[in-house]
């Protein structure tokens, strides 16, 4: 008969092979590099978001002649609002937020995950986002940037659609 309250048995472990250690190191490196890649994407997106409106104005002047405003200015106003939202989201992704990270905790099972609205709120109130570990910080930072860039891209493509509709609708 076995005792169900017996103490846990010690299990003999073997060290990681060189390949396993390399994979673990590369995994950690990729987690850290995510933020750099998202920053590069944000810089490219910001450049596009500044260039496309000037191309739009040039096309509008070529199509409209001296009257540079289309007849349907409502669509143009919506496009301008979407462009502004896209720029704001890209800037949120580019500039670092404040994170409160315990330097003695490398990894925890529960990952910190905040909503995009709490991200904007912490940006406006200049309060730090709490992370539970160093690894959690890298994941949370990448998640925040991904959300901001997704919203930025969505607003940007909506603005292009509304701007095109304002040219077509104005004819």
CA distance 149 to 145: 6
- The per-residue pLDDT for range 29-47, each reduced to its tens digit, is 888 888 889 899 999 999 9
- The per-residue pLDDT for range 127-170, each reduced to its tens digit, is 667 777 777 788 888 888 898 999 999 999 999 998 888 777 65
In the chain, domain spans: 37-169
- The per-residue pLDDT for range 2-30, each reduced to its tens digit, is 555 666 777 777 877 888 788 878 888 88
């Amino acid at each position: 008969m076995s005792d169900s309250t017996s103490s846990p048995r010690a299990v003999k472990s073997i060290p990681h092979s060189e390949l396993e250690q390399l994979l673990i190191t590369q995994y950690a490196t990729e987690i850290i590099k995510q933020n750099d890649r998202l920053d590069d994407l944000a810089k490219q997106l910001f450049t596009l978001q500044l260039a496309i409106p000037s191309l739009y104005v040039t096309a509008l002047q070529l199509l409209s002649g001296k009257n540079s405003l289309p007849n349907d200015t409502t669509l143009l106003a919506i496009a301008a609002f979407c462009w502004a939202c896209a720029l704001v989201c890209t800037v949120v992704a580019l500039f670092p937020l404040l994170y409160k990270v315990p330097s003695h905790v490398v990894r925890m099972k529960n990952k910190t995950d905040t909503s995009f609205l709490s991200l904007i709120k912490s940006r406006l109130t200049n309060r730090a986002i709490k992370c539970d570990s160093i690894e959690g910080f890298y994941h949370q930072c990448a998640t925040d940037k991904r959300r901001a860039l997704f919203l930025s891209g969505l607003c940007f493509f909506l603005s292009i659609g509304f701007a095109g509709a304002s040219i077509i609708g104005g004819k």
